[in-house]
A and B are shown apart, each in its own frame.
Chain A
Amino acid sequence: MTYQEDLMPGKSDATDNDAGYNYGYLNEQTKRMIRRAILKAVAIPGYQVPFAGREMPMPYGWGTGGIQLSACLLGPNDVFKVIDQGADDTTNAVSIRKFFARVTGVETTEKTGEATVIQTRHRIPEAPLQEDQIMVYQVPIPEPLRWVEPRESETRKMHALEEYGVMHVQLYEDIARHGRIATNFMYPVKVDGRYIMCPSPIPKFDNPKLDMSPALHLFGAGREKRIYAVPPYTDVKSLDFEDHPFQVESWDACCGLCGARDSYLDEVILNDEGERMFVCSDTDYCSSRRAQGNFGPMAGREDVAELMGESPQTA
């Protein structure tokens, strides 16, 4: 197809990609269908566009929506990064990175700043995103109203008519039960003053990064077969009450390895004597801070050396 050749100048000389598969694993018709859905999603920020999701060579729940998006986006000149809960070196991240290295031959990286496409499971990198970057999210449940309204026909109607009062019922319940809004991830947002959107299960710490972000954010739900988007420089507001405003998580400690106080921290239990530490969930952010000479209180300890691991080898 000429279409394919247009899209991939230099395919013939590029690369080590697996000749047994079409470029990007999906066939061209499928990619075209998904690209159309992406365009529609970008045109209507926050609206869930249905698409004919394909079977991917991995189970639902492992990121089938995300990899279908990535497969349609990656061109030969892209640089691809995959993170899983902030880390570049976990199984899911490593396998997806390997998969695309094999079926497209694109260059992969762990540096947030170098990547043009970043597929992510449940985190937004700490380093600020730029205009030419695309974030791809893996979404398990795209429907933010699902918790209060199980009927799909009804939730679509509610979106269409902008009947969103019921979203606050969930937040009300939180405050009634816990005295504060205890929802910490999948925190609902209103996009561009219109659609309520589920930002995939990112911690609410990352919600403010979506607001007026220079990058394009694409969300893919493989099982539910929905694609939605937050285009660059779009208003994204987290829902809240006037007397219980939206707040992000905060920690008493800093990152034990790099000393960061401004990043999302994971708690790690070190041994059975109750010792614990907090570490940046974004491994790239943590290691680049250490490379710049920032160290946390536990950076010198031998027993946590594994956590600092020299950045894992690229797939």
Chain B
Amino acid sequence: MQTFNEPMIHAQGVTKYYGPMVGCKDVSFDLWPGEVMGIVGESGSGKSTLLRCLSGRLDPTSGSVSYRSDEFGDVDVHDCSETVRRKLLRTELGVVHQNPRDGLRLGVTAGANLGERLMSVGARHYGNIRKEAAKWLGEVEIDADRIDHFPRTFSGGMQQRLQIACNLITSPRIVFMDEPTGGLDVSVQARLLDLLRNLVSRLGLSVILVTHDLAVARLLAHRLMVMKSGEVVESGLTDQVLDDPQHPYTQLLVSSILQA
């Protein structure tokens, strides 16, 4: 059924104005199955606005975003019923927030956080839900005996990994990540990146990754879009963009990385 000659996401002229202010302007691209696309740029350049438009949580001023969904076929995210949009967000899409506390329920245990997405798509067998939750804790390298602990007792890195597991548990096909490594120390970041790279390639996920950290983008992304003041100033293969930046802003961005 799965064909690889059609894009997973087709974005056409996505534009968002906040009053007279530009959030993002005329962004078009295709995302292919199994592809990781990085969106880089300085803070305030419209990365998160674009991500929110793409994941259907924010209505763009103009332009369209469509997914190729298993269940619903081609779906225009901003022109479908809210039922479909929210169903997609629970099943075929995943959103990893920069702050794990936005994506987790802090009042319930890790196991319940993991189980929630399963239960929301109809799982009603406690034993199976628990087994699946334990399996995914293992996947993101969290000790299985922390399944009944509250996320607030977890370290920042563990919370982030838990959030990622919560998204992947229903095997989504597209994952949106907003600065997944923000606020983590370097060694934790490295392990998280390693983990993400493994999961992404093993599960064949399509990922849109927003980051301001070019090192993260280089490690994870196949393709890059560079944004400045709401507009895409350059896009291309990651190595190409980072090794031979064409646009002055990209050149500035690349040259501002400290050389190790």
Residues in A lying within 8 Å of B, measured CB to CB = 148, 157, 161, 163, 165-166, 168-169, 172-173, 175-177, 240-244
Neighbouring A residues of B122 by C-beta, 8 Å: 165
Tell me if B188 counts as interface (CB < 8 A to partner A).
no
Tell me if B121 counts as interface (CB < 8 A to partner A).
yes
Neighbouring B residues of A173 by C-beta, 8 Å: 108-109, 112
Q: Closest A residue to B107 by CB, please name it.
A: A148
The residue in A166, A172, A175 that gathers the most chain B C-beta atoms within 10 A of its C-beta is: A172
Tell me if B111 counts as interface (CB < 8 A to partner A).
yes
A148-B105, A163-B86, A169-B112 known; A176 and B148 CB under 8 Å? yes
Query: B127-174: which residues lie under 8 A (CB-CB) from chain A?
Result: 127, 129-130, 147-148
- Give the number of A-B contacts (CB < 8 Å): 57
Compute how far the CA of A241 lies from the CA of B129 in the bound complex, rounded to whole angstroms: 10
| B125 lies within 8 A of A243 (CB) | yes
Compute how far the CA of A165 lies from the CA of B116 in the bound complex, rounded to whole angstroms: 7
Compute how far the CA of A244 lies from the CA of B109 in the bound complex, rounded to whole angstroms: 19
Tell me if B255 counts as interface (CB < 8 A to partner A).
no
A148-B105, A166-B116 known; A176 and B111 CB under 8 Å? yes
Neighbouring B residues of A166 by C-beta, 8 Å: 116, 119-120
Residues in B lying within 8 Å of A, measured CB to CB = 82-83, 86, 90, 105, 107-109, 111-112, 115-117, 119-122, 124-127, 129-130, 147-148
Question: Separation in Å of the A218 CB from the closest CB of chain B?
Answer: 30
A163-B86, A163-B120, A168-B119 known; A242 and B125 CB under 8 Å? yes
Neighbouring A residues of B125 by C-beta, 8 Å: 241-243
- Can you show 17 pairs from A to B with CB atoms below 8 A apart? A161-B86, A163-B90, A165-B116, A165-B117, A165-B121, A168-B119, A169-B112, A169-B116, A172-B119, A173-B109, A173-B112, A175-B126, A176-B112, A241-B124, A241-B126, A242-B124, A243-B126
A sample of 18 more A-B contacts (CB under 8 A), given A165-B120, A166-B119, A240-B124, is A148-B107, A161-B83, A165-B90, A165-B121, A172-B111, A172-B112, A172-B126, A172-B129, A173-B108, A173-B112, A176-B111, A176-B112, A176-B130, A176-B147, A177-B148, A241-B124, A241-B126, A242-B124
Q: Closest B residue to A168 by CB, please name it.
A: B119
| B86 lies within 8 A of A176 (CB) | no
| A165 lies within 8 A of B119 (CB) | yes
A169-B108, A173-B108, A176-B148 known; A244 and B126 CB under 8 Å? yes
Compute how far the CA of A165 lies from the CA of B121 in the bound complex, rounded to whole angstroms: 7
Question: Separation in Å of the B127 CB from the closest CB of chain A?
Answer: 5
| Interchain CB contact (< 8 A) of A176 among B90, B105, B109, B119 | B109
Q: Closest A residue to B130 by CB, please name it.
A: A176
The residue in B86, B105, B111, B124 that gathers the most chain A C-beta atoms within 10 A of its C-beta is: B124
Neighbouring A residues of B109 by C-beta, 8 Å: 173, 176
Neighbouring A residues of B112 by C-beta, 8 Å: 169, 172-173, 176
Question: Separation in Å of the B8 CB from the closest CB of chain A?
Answer: 25
Neighbouring B residues of A163 by C-beta, 8 Å: 86, 90, 120
Neighbouring A residues of B82 by C-beta, 8 Å: 157, 161
Compute how far the CA of A128 lies from the CA of B122 in the bound complex, rounded to whole angstroms: 34
Neighbouring A residues of B129 by C-beta, 8 Å: 172
Compute how far the CA of A175 lies from the CA of B111 in the bound complex, rounded to whole angstroms: 11
